[in-house]
Structure 1
Amino acid sequence: MAAALPTGRQGRLLAVGLVILTVVVAWLAVAAPLMDLYADQDARLAQRAALADRMSLVAEEVPALQARAASVPANNGTATFEGATDALAGASLQSLLQSLASTAGAGLSSLETLTADQAGPYRRIGVKLSISAPLPVLVELMAQIEQAHPPMLIDDLQIHGSPIVLPGAQSAALDAGFTVYGFRGGTAP
């Protein structure tokens, strides 16, 4: 004999419970994920709209920036190293670095000229140098390089040292190596 479904008040409560369970399952399985998907898509659309607005503002600035760039001469003597070749400009850069190092009170351990690269209308010339000096001298040299004309950039800075201060020395000597870049006008031969 088959079990009969409850009738009366128990049957109504069971039916209401099944309806509520069905609604909850449908909500968790279908409606909630769809609402989350809609919210994610809405956020993505808002982000893309903000990006499009920003890009349109940047695009409006391009002609003015191009006009400004065109008005600057390719070999602006105050911003670049002079020299008919990369080697001559590199020698100029080396000479300036030696002068700055002696002014700061530092002796350069080594200088190595790097291969020049094309960077837009300029040639990027570089010198890799090594120095052994106390921290104040090293900081002074880097400040002078930062303020020098023509402008130079410091890259690949590596500092090694010992926390031990030798007797008679004011501070411990640090071994530092870094690359200094400058620019000269022109293109590769």
Structure 2
Amino acid sequence: MYRLEDLNPVQRQAVEHREGPLLILAGAGSGKTRVLTYRIAHLIAQGVEPWNILAITFTNKAAQEMRERVYSLVGSEGRGLWVATFHSACVRILRSEIGYLPGYSRSFVIYDSGDQLAVIKSCMKELNLDEKKFAPRAIESVISDAKNKLLTPEDFSRRATDYFEQKAERVYELYQKKLLANNALDFDDIIML
């Protein structure tokens, strides 16, 4: 069981915060994870069902650690709590909702960087783009950057200003068509979609 008395006053204030969002800024080792785990325990104690709580971390290791800490505070009452990385949370959502995107099915695959590079090289070959003039990794980086800015190939084509970006846009468009044809997503799509 968790005890609010185990927290310092600032941590306790964050754990008991009720209305609106809360931003916690603190240095390494200051107790941010502790505050989050106690916050989750407090929400559960206040009647929030664990499956209505989502905690996002950057690594699988951090997600597992947070899950273990919460369970140590609330025991089996934490069953159903969703602690995940950005990517795993998005994949889980996409697996259930991908049917709303034309052309994709729940059995979609996720291409790793090697797969992505192979598809980009294939696109470049199809578009007669010389790998010596246009480095595939540079094209991959431009596509990734566009996706991280939530730019579709069409959006990116309107913003492509220089010669390299215009060529990258052509690759991006064909690349997305090939991903769709293979019922595949890349890591950037997982966040973007």
TM-score bracket, shorter-length normalisation: under 0.3
TM-score (norm 1): 0.27
TM-score (norm 2): 0.27
Say which one has the larger Rg: 1
- Tell me which protein shows more strand as a share of its residues: 1
